[in-house]
Amino acid sequence: MSKPLRVGLAGLGTVGASVVRLLVENRESLARRGGRAIELVRVASRSFKPDVGIGGASFDTDLNSLDTADVDVVVELIGGEGDARKLVETAIAGGRHVVTANKALLAGCGNELFSAAREADVALGYEASVAGGIPIVNALQKGLAANRLEALAGIVNGTSNYILTAMEEDGQDFGNALAEAQRLGYAEADPTFDVEGIDAAQKLAILAALAFDTGIDAAGVHVEGISNVDVEDIRYARELGFSIKHLGIARRQEDGIEARVHPALVPESELLAKVSGVTNAVMVHGDAVGSTLHTGPGAGGMPTASAVVADLVELARGTLPVPAAAHAQLPSLGLAGVVCPHYLKIPAIDQPGVFAEVADILSRHRISIEAVIQRPQAIRSGEEPWVPIIILTNEVAENEVEVAVAELGKLAGVSGSIARIRVVDLSAMMLGP
């Protein structure tokens, strides 16, 4: 057996502690699979050494302590961008391999880091940066390597999916579902990053770059979160045969890559519509294989550690890739060119003629109507009587529907803002543009 792979670990939070545990508990099988021992030699963490056994590894509060000849690979688990970037750049410059779980880092400067790693001829593993324990990077890089990948769609933010599931299954409103997620540790005190879609957009950018062999462009992703989804929308969607999910979608188009993150009505017949709670799921469409779906825990200490250590095993074996240059720099199209059905909730004042006006505007924009729900509402005294008109449209281009919705909003018979949620027909979408 060759000499051990010597690991320097930065960060001893939940994931870091889980990596340490896994390296100890599965030491024997990891050595067998990696062809040599994987040995934790140094741990660095800026806080004082927490109550985590680190075996014979040395500990230091200085991250620079990993910049040393007895470390073959630096595992970056400190998160954030500034210090993490410096740590990774230093490791690469020192000729050390890197394994990271840091999506924000890769979304921010992944292209630069990949390029530096390529020049230094070191591997850069990032399985843990997307979809936690699901080996999706591995599937895209290896298992599906025979395919020209056409599209991917996924639930990549467990917090948002947990909240939407609670809203759908328990009828909770967004605020309560969020509070529950926070209580259970599934959402941060400041949940912006998750519920506004930023986290999902970063992950989508990483997956898209990998799937379409292009650069990472997180800024080019169209981003909407779930904070405007009303529990009433979820009920109406269900009545129409859909579940509302927060999706990240990336698709090859003729002139670039469509990339978008937003709430979406997904047909209940799709497996993706059934993925509940903090579980993540990524659906991939390739020209040969067709569609595959990969689901599992999207976060958490041990699932993320599973991905980090999988990269270490590959590295020990000598099969973790040095990043190749992106084949092409495909422009990010965001939402441009997206054509899909829409769910509209129009708060109409209950007076004659409003529906006719709504229908007229849609018709003038050549938006045809697939389904309508309008019911008598109980009227509370002192309030103006109004009814939500729910419309499911046929396929319509983004700019068309936007203009139509703006016109609808100006109608005297419409009071309040119009909800608009895109419908995603995965089977049609996966067949390519």
Active site residues: 203
Q: How far is the CB of 2 from a copy of itself (least distance, A)?
A: 15
**Would you count residue 431 as binding a copy of itself (CB under 8 A)?**
no
Nearest CA to 97 out of 83, 118, 77 is that of 118
Q: Among residues 290 and 416, whose Cβ is nearest to a copy of itself? A: 290
Q: How far is the CB of 324 from a copy of itself (least distance, A)?
A: 7
Contact yes or no for 52/19 (Cβ under 8 A): no
- Stretch of 25-33, 97-105, 199-207, 411-419 contacting a copy of itself, by CB under 8 A: 25-33
Q: Among residues 100 and 295, whose Cβ is nearest to a copy of itself? A: 295
Q: Among residues 9 and 305, whose Cβ is nearest to a copy of itself? A: 305
410 three-state secondary structure: helix
Catalogue the E-assigned strands of 65-212.
73-76, 97-100, 124-125, 149-155
Binding a copy of itself by CB under 8 A: which of 297, 323, 334, 341?
Answer: 297
Site for a copy of itself in 186-245 (CB under 8 A): 213
Q: Among residues 108 and 154, whose Cβ is nearest to a copy of itself? A: 154
- Stretch of 220-228, 253-261, 307-315, 386-394 contacting a copy of itself, by CB under 8 A: 307-315
Q: How many chain residues touch a copy of itself (CB under 8 A)?
A: 54
Q: Among residues 327 and 364, whose Cβ is nearest to a copy of itself? A: 327
**Would you count residue 161 as binding a copy of itself (CB under 8 A)?**
no
Phi/psi at 35 (5° precision):
80, -5
**Would you count residue 115 as binding a copy of itself (CB under 8 A)?**
no
Q: How far is the CB of 238 from a copy of itself (least distance, A)?
A: 16
Beginning with the edge strand found earlier in the chain, give each strand of the sheet holding 58-60 in spatial order. Answer: 58-60, 38-44, 5-10, 73-76, 97-100, 124-125
d(CA 320, CA 340): 39
Nearest CA to 299 out of 148, 145, 131 is that of 131
Site for a copy of itself in 364-423 (CB under 8 A): none
Contact yes or no for 92/34 (Cβ under 8 A): no
Here the tokens at position 142 are 């290896």
Contact yes or no for 342/401 (Cβ under 8 A): yes
- Stretch of 7-15, 240-248, 309-317, 406-414 contacting a copy of itself, by CB under 8 A: 309-317
Q: How far is CA 391 from the centre of its chain?
A: 28
**Would you count residue 171 as binding a copy of itself (CB under 8 A)?**
no
d(CA 62, CA 201): 32
Contact yes or no for 47/57 (Cβ under 8 A): no
Binding a copy of itself by CB under 8 A: which of 13, 14, 26, 235?
Answer: 26
Binding a copy of itself by CB under 8 A: which of 58, 182, 253, 292?
Answer: 292
Q: How far is the CB of 310 from a copy of itself (least distance, A)?
A: 5
Q: Among residues 165 and 202, whose Cβ is nearest to a copy of itself? A: 165
SS3 track for 198-245: HHHHHHHHHHHHHHHCCCCCHHHCEECCCCCCCHHHHHHHHHCCEEEE
Site for a copy of itself in 139-158 (CB under 8 A): 139, 142-148
Contact yes or no for 209/331 (Cβ under 8 A): no
Site for a copy of itself in 324-353 (CB under 8 A): 324, 327
**Chain contacts with a copy of itself (rule: CB under 8 A):** 18, 22, 25-26, 29-30, 32-34, 127, 133-135, 138-139, 142-148, 213, 271, 274-275, 286-297, 300, 302-303, 305-310, 312-314, 317, 319, 324, 327
